[in-house]
Each structure stands twice: as C-alpha cells, then as structure tokens.
Amino acid sequence: MHALSALAAALNARAALLDAPHHTALRLLNGFYEGCPELVIDLYGTTLLLFDYADSPQPERIGTALALLREHLPWAQAAVVKTRAGSPEARRGVLAFGQAPERKICEHGVWYALDLQMNQDAGFYLDTRGLRGWLKSNSTGLRVLNTFAYTGSLGVAALAGGAQRVLQTDLDRRFMRLAQQSCRLNGLSCSDRDFLAGDFFSVASRLRNSKQRFDLIILDPPFFSTTQRGRVDQLNQSARLINKVRPLSEDGGRIVAVNNALFLSGADYLRSLEALCQGGYMEVEELIPVPQDVTGYPATIQTVAPADPAPFNHPTKIAMLRVRHHPA
C-alpha cells in the first residue's frame, strides 16, 4: 500500500501535466525520492514506461501500479516494463499491454524519435529537458559539437534552434540513427558527415589536430566508462573531460558541462568548475535546473539525494561555461 499511496500522490502532483491527447514526455514517479525507491515511472506520449529496480522481479507490485496508472490515465495505449534483475530482454523492456510502444514524442515544439526497448534506459533523458529548451532558444547560427551524443536529442534541439551545423559523435553509431530519424521528423537538414562514430578521446584529438573550432560544445558523458583510449569518471575526474574539449572552443564560445554523479555534491562540483576558471580563461555563466517532475515536488519528496546537489536542484548537475582564449 505504501508504494500505491506514493504513486497516487505523485500523480496528483503532476495532474496539470497529464493532458490528453498526450504527445510529450515526463516523469510520473521518481521513486528514489518520492517514497518508492525501487520504482521509477515515465510517460512517453501515450506509453507508460516502468523501471523495476528491485533485487528480484516484483510482478505483483508492477501489476498493481499499472492498474492505478490505467485508472488515472485511461488514454494510455501501451506500457513497457524494464526489470533490472531480469533477463537481457527484460532489462531492455517487455510490453505489458498495448500493441507497440510510442515511436516519437514532442517537446518544446520539436519531435524526437524513440526506441524505448533499444537499451536498458529509455534512450531519451528527461532530466535534460531544460537544457534542450535552452539549446533551442540559444543556438541560432552556431557551430555545435555534441559529444557522447547517444541518441542525439541535445544536438537535434540545437538544430531545431537554428544551429548552422551540429556534429554529433558517439562510440556507437546505432544510437545516433535515432538522431537522424529525429531530424527527418522535423525536416531538419543533416547528412552522414554530421554523425561521427568513435571513442571520445580519439575524436577530440582528431578534431583538435584538424584545427576545428565550435561555438558551443555539449559534454554529457556517462557516469563511468573505460575504453582503450581513456577513462570517463564523473565522480573523480570531470575536469579532465572539460579540459579535453576546451581547445575545440572558439573564443567566447560555451561548453555545456553535465555531471550526473550521484555521490558528488553540487558544491564540490561547482568548486571543481571554479578551479578550472582560475586565471580568467573560463567562467561559470549559468546553471540549468532539472524539471520538477523529475526532481519530485515539495509535497511528494520523502528522501533526499545521498549528496546534497545544491546549488543545483538535482544530482544531474548542468553548468554553462564561457570560454575565453585571453583572460578576462
């Protein structure tokens, strides 16, 4: 009953966002903070997406949650359940009802292609909605580099905002195919040369050696990964990645630095950024908040993050950095 009451409270808090027909995406329950730590529920268009993070599958609890969701959202047409403790197929997601999951959503007037069963996550991150809105509003005429692009939503937002060109790069080309689909959905011009598959460290070195520069660089890496060319460690080495792309920035350009390390406090992250800014070659210009449906609401939050994210409002910490070739 505790999980059901937490879900009911979360749905009530988001009632104003639950319109029909529904074309956008939002978080219905952030169980980590809203009283049900083993359950996260998202809504993509008319498709419910449930993440079961329990140590063993909990079909009864998932079934009860689905019943409540269908009562509150009778227009939902499908549901996918991703079970962390299940088979590879179950981790990617199994259809619980409906004929097929949603294939696209609209956000800030931009359409994004979806493949909700392609990977263990949704393939489209709700915590960066505010960043996509910022990119759409601030990319006119810019040359943009989107590193760790994954399915390319941040780059597509920049293109939709009038970017001159967006170069999207990721280790796995198959993820970037969704970005190409998103471009087609919006009638945006892109070609194969705008998608570069490769290791981040190798690609950054290649771009630097060819003296390419960008007005805006998006740096949204995974929490941790290791390749033959380098290591990504957002908890201990986030500054290293920023320094890797700094030479690729035009004078006066910006770097969007995203850090999603759960156990890195916001104050510690900000101090690491300010240390990079000593000497006047860079400054922290703006912090971009995470949407409230992702963070939880004052009336629904029951648990705090393991490390205080302040002055950011969520463990996904998004900072805009201004780069200068000469000290201010």
User: Dihedral, CA atoms, 179, 185, 191, 194, nearest 10 degrees?
Assistant: -30
Mean pLDDT on 157-166? 98
Q: pLDDT for 62-96, tens place per residue?
A: 999 999 999 999 999 999 999 999 999 999 999 99
Q: What CATH code is carried by the domain that includes residue 220? A: 3.40.50.150
pLDDT band of residue 244 (cuts 50, 70, 90) is: very high
Q: How many CA atoms lie within 13 A of 22 on its CB side?
A: 23
Q: Are strands 195-197 and 110-113 parallel, antiparallel or unpaired?
A: unpaired
Write the DSSP string, 212-276: --EEEEEE---SEEE-SS-EEETTT-HHHHHHHHGGGEEEEEEEEEEE--TTS-HHHHHHHHHHH
Q: Are residues 61 and 8 in the same domain?
A: yes
Q: Are residues 10 and 146 in the same domain?
A: no
Regarding pTM above 0.85, the answer is yes
45 belongs to a structural domain:
yes
The rounded mean pLDDT for the chain is 95
Residue 223 pLDDT exceeds 80 = no
Q: Are residues 127 and 89 in the same domain?
A: no
Residue reference for tokens 């997601």: 93
Q: What is the pLDDT of residue 3?
A: 83
- For residues 70 and 95, give the distance between their C-alpha atoms in angstroms, rounded to a whole number: 15
Q: pLDDT for 276-317, tens place per residue?
A: 999 999 999 999 999 999 999 999 999 999 999 999 999 999
Domain end: 69, 102, 135, which one?
102
Residue 1 pLDDT exceeds 50 = no
Q: Find all residues with CB under 8 Å of 47, minimum gap 6, and list them.
A: 76, 77, 78, 79, 80, 98, 101, 102, 116
Q: Are residues 148 and 23 in the same domain?
A: no
User: Dihedral, CA atoms, 238, 32, 304, 12, nearest 10 degrees?
Assistant: 130
Q: pLDDT for 129-156, tens place per residue?
A: 999 999 999 999 999 999 999 999 999 9
Domain end: 102, 132, 165, which one?
102
Q: Which domain holds residue 202?
A: 121-323
Q: What is the pLDDT of residue 277?
A: 95
Segment (H or E) for 308: none
Q: Are residues 91 and 20 in the same domain?
A: yes
Q: Per the structure, how many domains does the chain have?
A: 2
Residue 224 pLDDT exceeds 70 = no
114 belongs to a structural domain:
no
Vertex 307, ends 301 and 311: CA angle to 5°? 80
Mean pLDDT on 215-225? 88
Selection from 58, 62, 65, 48 nearest residue 6 by Cα = 65
Length of the chain, in residues = 328
- For residues 114 and 47, give the distance between their C-alpha atoms in angstroms, rounded to a whole number: 11
**Phi, psi dihedrals of residue 20, rounded to the nearest 5°:** -135, 135
3-state secondary structure 104-119: EEEECCEEEECCCCCC
Q: What is the pLDDT of residue 238?
A: 85
Q: pLDDT for 27-71, tens place per residue?
A: 999 999 999 999 999 999 999 999 999 999 999 999 999 999 999
Mean pLDDT on 5-13? 97
107 belongs to a structural domain:
no
**Phi, psi dihedrals of residue 43, rounded to the nearest 5°:** -130, 120
Q: Find all residues with CB under 8 Å of 15, minimum gap 6, and list them.
A: none
Q: Are residues 273 and 205 in the same domain?
A: yes
Q: Are residues 138 and 71 in the same domain?
A: no
Q: What CATH code is carried by the domain that includes residue 21? A: 3.30.750.80
